[in-house]
Amino acid sequence: MTGTVLAGRYRLLALIGTGASGKVYVADDVRLKRQVAVKVLHAALSDDAGFLRRFRAEAQVAASLHHPNIVSVYDWGEDDVPFMVLELLEGGSLRAMLDRGIRLTPAQAAHVGSEVCAALEYAHARGLVHRDVKPANLLFDEHGIVRVADFGLARALAEASWTEPAGAVIGTARYASPEQATGAPLDARSDLYSLGLVLVESVTGNVPFAADTALGTLAARTQNSVPAPAELGPLAPVVERACRVTPAERYPDAVTMGDALGDAIDAMPIPGPLTLVGTGEVIEDPNPTQLGLTQQQIYDQDEGGKAKAAVGRTRSPNYDRWVGRAVAAVAFVVLLAVIATAIVALAPGGSAETSVPNLVGTSKEVATARAGKAGLKVETVVRSGDDPAGLVMNQTPAAGVWSKD
């Protein structure tokens, strides 16, 4: 579909990803003159009236989510095929990193997991269960901040009557919770189980209980809890609780799991910089609505080992510490109707350095509690705009280790 213009506005430039639900393209928004990502769903879905009704409803919900760790949905529509228009993130996906043989340290995985928990906490509080948390749906911006993609899409696809491409179900089954295998009602704890599997794979490169068939994978999940490999270190107890067979034995919500990950972070050394895998190099062009790509990569979002030549980027530890989270969240500060922006002041006395927790995406109450646990004082600033009330959308200083000097 390269070269196709959808809805008279989005010109598809280059294919950058493919998965069970469709393909992702870099595209020009010719109206606003900016680059975006367009997810084009499989053409078979355009004939499913039930899916289209669910897709419209879920796309509207997804577009209403405004959080620093959730991929923004700009637009959606149907132009022979259903599609969604998303913000273009240049850091690539966790799936692409793993396919390149890049593994995270336990400390890196804990930080990524903490950010994902913040996104899930926000969505779950609005009654939205993701249902398909997997590496392909964890994307990074150029600063290494993770964003969760495809909220609502998994539910729409689950209720569609179409026939999935051969082998496509494997992509979802690899990270499915036991209750997804049995058809039991899903709640927030299903997403936490899937996140636990993702954390294991991000460190070890292997998905627990992943069999050759979808049925074999799902059957194994319903019989045994996930044993956490020793290489996870302080992250192991978090994974073991998140990945228990019985939902009642897991963390009750993303807030509690996020707090547990915070404790694990405190017990580990400062993580090194993430090696990011981008979607290609942008070259200068006299026409600002045209995107030039070199070394184009196409990643299979559901199966490993199919990544083509990629362009790697490494973020600076200093840049990540001082700028990363603030840059990722600054666009949201002016959008809130009533927000609590956490301004963390370093407590007097003690050691020369202190660890500032990630408070972005949490409620004012949770942010105050986490900061207090770290021995920090919190001040809040309320601003006006259109986002839901009561969430921390930015913090100063950013999360990381700060010197009192």
Q: Catalytic amino acids?
A: 132
Tokens of 101: 């043989």
Residue 328 contacts residue 141 (beta carbons within 8 Å):
yes
Number of DSSP helices (H) and strands (E) in the chain, helices first: 13, 19
Question: Rounded distance, CA 258 to CA 405, Å?
Answer: 29
Provide the CB-side half-sphere exposure for 69 (13 A, CA). 25
Report in angstroms the alpha-carbon separations of 190 from 26, 34, 39, 175, 366.
31, 36, 25, 10, 22
- Smallest CA-to-CA distance from 398 within 357, 369, 366 is with 357
β-partners of residue 158 are none
Burial class (CB in 10 A: 0-12, 13-18, 19+), 331: middle
The beta-carbon contacts of 213-220 under 8 Å, at least 24 apart in sequence, are 213/170, 214/169, 214/170, 214/173, 217/170, 217/173, 217/174, 217/176, 218/173, 218/176, 218/178, 218/180, 218/181, 219/181
3-state secondary structure of 372: helix
Q: What SS3 state is found at 283?
A: strand
The token pair that represents 153 in the structure block: 């899409």
Asked if 222 contacts 178 with a C-beta cutoff of 8 angstroms, the reply is: yes
Distance CA 358, CA 361 (A): 9
- The gap between the terminal CA atoms of the chain, to the nearest Å, is 55
What 8-state DSSP symbol labels residue 374? T
d(C-alpha 284, C-alpha 191), whole Å: 41
Which alpha helices (DSSP H) does 279-381 contain, by range? 317-319, 325-333, 364-373
- Say whether the peptide bond before residue 397 is cis (omega within 30 degrees of 0): yes
